[in-house]
Amino acid sequence: MNVSIIGAGYVGLVTGVCLAEKKHHVTCVDIDKEKVKKISDGVSPIFENGLEDLLKKNISNKNFTATTNLKKAVRASEISIVAVDVPLVNNKVEFKYLRNAVKDIGIALKKLNGYHVIVVKSTVPPGTTDDVVLPILEEYSDKKSGVDFGVSANPEFLREGCAVSDFLKPDRIVIGGIDKKTTEKIVELYKPFDGDVLVTNNKTAEMIKYVSNALLATLISFSNEIANICAMTENVDVKEVMAGVHLDRRLNPRIPGGGRVNPEILSYLEAGCGFGGSCLPKDIETLINYCVGADSSCKCGLLKSVAEVNREQPKKLLQLLRKHNGSLENSIVAVLGLAFKPNTDDVRGSPAIPVIRSLRRKRACIKAYDPLAQKNARKILGTIGILYPESLEETLIDVDAVILITPWEEFRELHILINKLESPPLIIDGRRMLDKSKYKRYVGIGLNDANVCMKNGEPYGCC
């Protein structure tokens, strides 16, 4: 099929390249000329495992092109997928980019014959496709929905760091639509993919995306709330507590013959310093605002608590630092991990950002290290009082404390480097990924001080 993708950002580019990989002919549209040129040269403007290789491959086999000419791309396609940014500005969804893109698609449809389907892949509040997108298309195309064109909500479920594999091997494909003709067209688009297909109306499809992310965020904040309770309780470690919870057969079924399934959902039931990224924080706030705005009797107490726990969680790292190292002024603190999760260079919503800003306000000196995200972090945090060493080894030299924020695999054997130092720094494990027994001075999320400072009945380490 001939497909146009409007928006060459994270979702748009991954969607376009992966559809091209399945032999569709894709044209990706963006208003940024430099980005389009970069993409056309086979260089991905974002880091995502495997994306650039597939981009080059599909440019070479002529299944994928990039352009700034929206009208030409839309008129040469059967399906137009809208994947523009829909940001949250002052806690309100900003539709500016979506409206502009849809308006231009409507104008392009004026001189187009045949039934064209417009797909909203951007994450939008329930009702947006039917109540915002569809009327704009009718206004600027002078055509009738359901007669001349169809409109579909088709949310993405991509995880940064493994978005290409998620798209190519989906667990679910949710297809909304205004009528059967529309949904059948999208079903045909996804025919080369092996995943469970759920066909529904547009509002339900939009809601599914928010509920999916709300569940993940709730699991994380629940785990962090439990971590904070464990930290209050002598001789209790949240890591052991959650290991016991994970053995519940309803969460982690036994495999006949021995062993466990160990589903990935269990990774959201682990203590840490909070979730970040461009999706979960924004989607929680959007769903809260949608809920309160639609029905004043719905207070969204649970989701508000999920967001509040997440906002407060990075502060636990600073509390541990102050408690065990005293004054922060002129202290040198290594922050390990700047991306909001491993295997990405995305720092949006990363707990590292508020932690570093708080440390700078207390006049601490920062050595910030991340395998991929230092360039993006530097754009946000600047360089005043912050160094960005090129290696983990360099980062650890002459520091008073180390705060681990992003669980990169590179950090798992941190003790090998730490124990070579003449004066080992305090280790603050914000992800509980380290073996606490291998460090002389170790504290972590969900770990009571008694667990850290006593060994065989005798004080040691930070005591």
3-state secondary structure of 441: coil
Decide: residue 316, CB within 10 A, 0-12 exposed, 13-18 middle, 19+ buried: buried
Instruction: Give the span between the Cα atoms of 382 and 384, in whole angstroms.
Output: 6
CA distance 137 to 104: 9
| 300 is a catalytic site residue | no
Residue 262: partners with Cβ closer than 8 Å, 6 or more residues away: 252
The residues, any chain, with a CB within 8 Å of residue 215's CB and separated by 6 or more, are none
Give the H/E segment covering residue 241.
Answer: helix 238-246
Which of 230, 279, 300, 462 is flagged as catalytic? 279
Q: How many angstroms separate the first and last alpha carbons of the chain? A: 67
Q: Which residue has the tokens 């297909």?
A: 197
Stated length of the chain: 463
Strand partners, 242: none
401, 412, 416, 404: which is closest to 445 by C-alpha? 404
With beta carbons less than 8 A apart as the criterion, state whether 120 and 128 touch. yes
Please say whether the beta carbons of 90 and 57 come within 8 A. no
Distance (Å) of CA 166 to CA 159, 160, 193, 403, 456: 7, 9, 11, 31, 47
* Distance, CA of 137 to CA of 112 (rounded, Å): 13
> How far apart are alpha carbons 148 and 189 in whole angstroms?
19
The dihedral through the CA atoms of 130, 134, 139, 143 has a sign that is: negative
Helix axis angle, 374-381 to 352-361, nearest 10°? 40
Q: Which residue has the tokens 């949250």?
A: 88
Q: Which two tokens stand for residue 178?
A: 């205004």
CA distance 420 to 415: 8
Q: Which phi and psi (to 5°) does residue 370 adopt?
A: -150, 140
- The residues annotated as belonging to the active site are 279
